[in-house]
């Protein structure tokens, strides 16, 4: 069972690349972020024609998340618990049956949080508090769980080509990184870090200033595993190929293979 996460920066602008990648990478489950469309605008039929089920949590113009799965998608919930008045579409969760077992998948698009010290940074930290509380509740279920998506957090200096450039950015603030470590302290495993502990594994390269050509990247898209999912961890990694295509997203997919 291969589960991937990809911030595609606009599903309508990226549909051809998405279909190509689905055909070649053949992931079982994909969490998408920044679909940037309402549910009615999501290119559902084209994706379903490749054998995927689709669940979306869209929003006009910004944000928006989705889950694609070759297996049935059950018990879908939309929105991160903890603030029913939060209008931003940044979280979707579902249960996917996998043979004798199930896997619970939470797809998330964490707020960017810039500039630091403002309302947006406070929203990011509050969102992280809500995520920690929800993760704690999910871990109590003792299920195979994958919490994945665009966390907008650079966990450590080795997760950036030029960490000094990020010291005043919300993605690399001590508060953001502390919240990340609190998630790990709950018992969640950073799958890509577990398989690739070395520096230089990136998932995002800015469109500007030739960042991709210089490999001036950061690792901000992550897959966190519950203990029972981590027990079944076979492999994990980052698929850099779509970042090199024409009209790419600035993010590229990260993935995990579980023996479910």
Partner DNA sequence: ATGCCTTGTCGCACAAGA
Catalytic residues: 109, 150
Q: Which of 44, 71, 120, 177 binds DNA (CB under 7 A)?
A: 120
- Encoded one letter per residue, x for contact with DNA by CB under 7 A and - for no contact, window 139-168 reads -----------x-x----------------
d(CA 183, CA 188): 6
Which 209-238 residues touch DNA, going by CB under 7 A?
209, 218, 220
Among 3, 4, 11, 89, binds DNA (CB under 7 A): 11
Establish if 206 lies at the interface with DNA (CB under 7 A). yes
Nearer to DNA, 93 or 150 (CB): 150
56 contacts DNA (rule: CB under 7 A): no
- Residue 9 backbone zone (phi > 0: left; psi -120 to 50: alpha; other: beta): left
Alpha-carbon span 177 to 183, nearest angstrom: 10
Which positions from 15 through 34 interact with DNA, judged by CB under 7 A?
34
Identify whether the C-beta of residue 149 lies closer than 8 Å to the C-beta of residue 107.
yes
Residue 249's contacts (CB-CB under 8 Å, 6 or more residues apart) are 6, 7, 8, 9, 10, 14, 17, 242, 243
Candidates 1, 4, 6, 7; binder of DNA (CB under 7 A) is 7
Stretch that binds DNA, among 8-16, 129-137, 178-186, 228-236 (CB under 7 A): 8-16
Q: Which is nearer to DNA, 111 or 144 (CB)?
A: 111
Q: Where are the alpha helices (DSSP H) in 26-171?
A: 44-48, 119-139
Q: Which residues contact 114 (CB under 8 A, 6 or more apart)?
A: 120, 121, 169, 170, 171
Q: Are 251 and 14 in contact (CB under 8 A)?
A: no
- Binding part of the chain for DNA, among 79-87, 112-120, 138-146, 222-230 by CB under 7 A, reads 112-120
Task: Please report, as ranges, the residues that interact with DNA according to CB under 7 A.
Answer: 7, 9-14, 34, 36-37, 60-62, 111-112, 114, 120, 150, 152, 171, 204, 206-209, 218, 220, 247, 250-251
């Amino acid at each position: 069972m291969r589960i991937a996460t990809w911030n595609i920066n606009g599903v309508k602008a990226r549909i051809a690349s998405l279909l190509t990648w689905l055909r070649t990478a053949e992931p079982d489950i994909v969490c998408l972020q920044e679909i940037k469309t309402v549910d009615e605008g999501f290119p559902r039929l084209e994706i379903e024609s490749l054998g995927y089920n689709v669940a979306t949590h869209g929003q006009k113009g910004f944000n928006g998340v989705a889950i694609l799965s070759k297996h049935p998608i059950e018990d879908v919930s939309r929105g991160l618990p903890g603030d029913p008045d939060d209008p931003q579409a940044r979280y979707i969760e579902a249960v996917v049956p996998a043979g004798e077992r199930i896997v619970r998948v939470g797809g998330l698009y964490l707020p960017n949080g810039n500039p630091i010290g403002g309302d947006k940074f406070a929203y990011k930290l509050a969102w992280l508090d809500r995520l920690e509380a929800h993760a704690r509740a999910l871990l109590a279920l003792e299920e195979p769980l994958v919490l994945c998506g665009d966390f907008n957090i650079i966990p450590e200096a080795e997760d950036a080509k030029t960490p000094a450039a990020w010291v005043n950015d919300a993605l690399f603030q001590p508060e953001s990184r502390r919240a990340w470590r609190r998630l790990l302290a709950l018992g969640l495993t950073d799958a890509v870090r577990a398989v690739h502990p070395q520096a230089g594994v990136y998932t995002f390269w800015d469109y500007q200033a030739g960042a991709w050509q210089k490999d001036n990247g950061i690792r901000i898209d992550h897959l966190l595993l519950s203990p029972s999912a981590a027990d079944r961890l076979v492999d994990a990694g980052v698929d850099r190929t779509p970042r090199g295509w024409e009209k790419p997203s600035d993010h590229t997919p990260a993935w995990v293979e579980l023996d479910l």
